[in-house]
């Protein structure tokens, strides 16, 4: 894929991003066609939470600003690249406990770069830093979703999209800070992911933006096994917004999931047939996600960001008070329970790298479990092993639950696709995005070490899912998966913008 085109100031060159076989490269090409020039390879394996790196030229055309990852810590910061010498220089340093810097944009006067700093997934604020160096200055203090930003032509203010008012809307803030000004357009569609990207014309009298509408729903099908025939998938949990992250209860009678129906992601639970929906959380702010059932089915663990950083919480499955489990100034995400219910596993960057940790279910001191990276861990039903994915390496890995060496079990998911697999007693179900025609759901058998296709998806699997998009019932009968049923976008222009 060739994505993210950006014009040079003189209009003669286009820089762009190429994504090929998991590698991400920054290139340029003459605007009227001609030979491509490879500028630099980036430390991405694909998109970051559904976004590809944005590019911004300096006004004199000598530099390109872009986000890139540290290959060791996997923390994303803003860099600049000299188009002539190809010298790469780091413009921002992400503080400890923060997730990433993103959306770097040169000011029209070339003196500053504005960017978004993420405390955790979906939680960001607008910052600005001098091109010559120095400590960045924070402009907003909202800790909300900020999908994009753009400078006004006079370099004195910044337009940005944000959920600071509830739904995603447009705002403007002066370079010296202060209270953001609400812009009364662009907020007519509350779907997540709207109002990105956008741009202000050089005269400042027009603003163009992309308005997107997406409808992601949870589907179910019966696993064909033995004499059981192949069945057609059924849309099980649906609305005009987003439903994702499904998980069966241990007895298979309930489903926990996250839904974007009130302008924010909240945790819900319903019957296995999709009826009797019950909303469990009411944070009304940054997203809550990745619900996981306790072994006895009485509580649900999940991650949420009420104070910016992500922490692990639990809530009674029948509804009730939410209880915080972790409180470290880091990002703790994607919980799961030990088979005896005594521990909650989670992924954290508290050691500066994404590793699997565990904490007593009632709270207490957390212990690091993995040493070579780990994400989205699940303990086997017998409590003997811990299975997990990685953000930097492909495959599903395994280690003894009480500690020991890890080994690769099956090379079945790409790096970062931590939500595209589900553990069962007999093997691993996973989404195969490399099938020659439709995406398929395949099964890796622990006993035979062989893989076979279980189902071919007739519609578009949600390939930009940043949550668990696959679940299997404990009895091995049912599979839940997330499907992108509708995706539409339009380019809107605001005339007489000022």
* Domains recognised in the chain with CATH numbers: 2-213+488-494 (2.120.10.30), 216-486 (2.120.10.30)
CA distances from 110 to 60, 62, 208, 345, 497 (A): 8, 11, 22, 46, 23
pLDDT of 74:
75
What whole-number distance in Å separates Cα of residue 452 and Cα of residue 459? 20
pLDDT at 186 over 70: no
Could you tell me which residue, 225 or 6, shows the higher pLDDT?
Answer: 6
pLDDT of residue 23: 85
Mean per-residue pLDDT of the chain: 90
The token duo for 322 is 């939410």
- Highest mean predicted confidence (pLDDT) among 190-199, 316-325, 414-423, 478-487: 316-325
Asked if residue 300 has pLDDT above 60, the reply is yes
Say yes or no to pLDDT of 52 above 90.
no
State residue 125's pLDDT score: 96
C-alpha 237/C-alpha 234 separation (Å) is 9
At 64-89, the pLDDT tens digits run 999 998 877 778 999 999 999 999 99
The model carries a pTM of 0.85
Average pLDDT over residues 463-471: 75
The pLDDT value recorded for residue 145 is 86
- At 73 the pLDDT is 72
Q: Is the pLDDT of residue 194 over 60?
A: no
Cα gap 267→299, rounded to integer Å: 12
Q: What percent of the chain has pLDDT over 70?
A: 94
- The span from the first CA to the last CA of the chain, in angstroms, equals 36
Task: Retrieve residue 328's tokens.
Answer: 């470290």
pLDDT of residue 415: 83
């Amino acid at each position: 894929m060739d994505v993210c085109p950006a014009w040079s100031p003189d209009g003669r060159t286009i820089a762009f991003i190429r994504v090929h076989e998991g590698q991400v490269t920054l290139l340029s090409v003459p605007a009227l066609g001609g030979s491509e020039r490879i500028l630099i390879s980036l430390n991405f394996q694909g998109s970051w939470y559904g976004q590809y790196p944005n590019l911004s030229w300096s006004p004199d055309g000598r530099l390109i600003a872009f986000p890139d990852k540290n290959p060791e810590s996997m923390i994303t910061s803003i860099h600049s690249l000299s188009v002539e010498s190809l010298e790469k220089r780091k413009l921002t340093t992400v503080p400890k406990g923060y997730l990433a810097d993103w959306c770097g944009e040169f000011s029209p006067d070339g003196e500053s770069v504005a960017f978004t700093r993420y405390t955790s997934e979906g939680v960001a604020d607008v910052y600005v830093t001098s091109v010559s160096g120095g400590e960045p200055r924070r402009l907003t203090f909202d800790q909300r979703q900020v999908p994009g930003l753009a400078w006004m032509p006079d370099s004195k203010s910044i337009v940005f999209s944000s959920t600071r008012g509830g739904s995603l809307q447009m705002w403007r803030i002066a370079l010296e800070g202060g209270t953001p000004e609400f812009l009364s357009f662009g907020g007519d569609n509350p779907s997540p992911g709207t109002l990105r990207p956008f741009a202000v014309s050089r005269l400042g009298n027009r603003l163009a933006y992309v308005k997107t509408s997406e409808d992601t729903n949870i589907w179910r099908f019966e696993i064909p096994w033995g004499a059981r025939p192949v069945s057609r998938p059924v849309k099980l949990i649906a609305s005009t917004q987003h439903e994702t992250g499904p998980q069966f209860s241990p007895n298979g009678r309930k489903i926990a999931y996250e839904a974007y129906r009130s302008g924010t992601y909240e945790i819900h639970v319903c019957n296995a047939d999709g009826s009797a929906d019950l909303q469990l959380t009411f944070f009304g702010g940054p997203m809550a996600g990745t619900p996981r059932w306790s072994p006895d089915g009485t509580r649900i663990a999940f991650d949420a960001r009420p104070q910016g950083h992500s922490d692990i919480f639990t809530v009674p499955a029948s509804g009730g008070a939410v209880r915080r489990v972790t409180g470290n100034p880091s990002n703790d995400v994607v919980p799961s329970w030990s088979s005896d219910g005594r521990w909650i596993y989670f992924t954290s960057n508290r050691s500066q790298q994404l590793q699997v940790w565990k904490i007593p279910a009632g709270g207490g001191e957390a212990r690091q479990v993995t040493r070579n990276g780990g994400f989205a861990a699940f303990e086997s039903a017998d409590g003997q092993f811990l299975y997990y994915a990685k953000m930097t390496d492909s495959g599903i890995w395994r280690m003894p639950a009480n500690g020991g060496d890890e080994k690769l079990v099956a090379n079945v998911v790409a790096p970062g696709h931590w939500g595209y697999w589900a553990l069962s007693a007999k093997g691993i179900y996973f989404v195969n995005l490399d099938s020659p025609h439709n995406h398929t759901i395949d099964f890796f058998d622990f006993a035979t070490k062989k893989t076979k296709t279980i189902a071919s998806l007739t519609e578009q699997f949600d390939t930009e899912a940043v949550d668990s998009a696959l679940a299997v019932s404990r009895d091995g009968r049912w599979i839940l998966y997330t499907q992108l049923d509708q995706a539409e976008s339009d380019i809107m222009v605001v005339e007489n913008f000022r």
